[in-house]
Amino acid sequence: METAFINTPLGVAKLQGDENGINSISILDGDEKLSDILPEVLEDAVYQLREYFEGRRTQFSLLLNPQGTDFQKRVWQALEQIPYGKTTSYMELSKTLGDPKAIRAVASANGKNPLWIVIPCHRVIGSDGSLTGYAGGIHRKKWLLEHESPVKQQSLF
């Protein structure tokens, strides 16, 4: 398993993967030493993440290998279908998966998403439009949604 630490506008991201694909991208709150040399198996992921943060990428094209239960993987696959710049609710996601009563299980699987940004769990919000639950912190979820918003809010000051 190869590992790299890169800087992003939201903090240091830790990427892990091997020849079978990327299995983990997470944001860290601590100060990690950035990688001087990128492992070859992670180069494309780093490149695509940089494009995303520069506003030049709206979809990822990476070999992914997240580890989880079959149910979690179904939820993560459904998350990948949420378009850039759009959001859905936990209720709508549950309905998409065929079980409107599975909201809590869907929310739990969403929270265990091992591929930050690439599998866009930040695009799932509460039914009332609230920014509920995000493993990376609500401030990061807000930033990501604003970054992807087709309407950019202008500052008055």
Note the pLDDT tens digit of each residue in 136-156: 889 999 999 999 998 766 655
Measured CA to CA, the distance from residue 23 to residue 44 in angstroms comes to: 14
Q: Which two tokens stand for residue 21?
A: 């694909």
Measured CA to CA in angstroms, residue 119 lies from 25, 64, 103 at distances of 10, 10, 18
Radius of gyration of the chain (CA): 16
Measured CA to CA, the distance from residue 71 to residue 94 in angstroms comes to: 12
Helix, strand, or coil (residue 124): strand
pLDDT string in tens for the chain (157-residue length): 999 999 999 999 999 999 999 999 999 987 789 999 999 999 999 999 999 999 999 999 999 999 999 999 999 999 999 999 999 999 999 999 999 999 999 999 999 999 999 999 999 998 888 888 787 889 999 999 999 998 766 655 5
Positions annotated as catalytic residues are 121
Measured CA to CA, the distance from residue 129 to residue 41 in angstroms comes to: 38
Enter the pTM of the model.
0.90
- Taken in order of first residue, the domains within the chain and their CATH numbers are 2-53 (3.30.160), 70-148 (1.10.10.10)
Checking DSSP bridges between strand 2-8 and strand 11-18, what pairing results, if any?
A: antiparallel
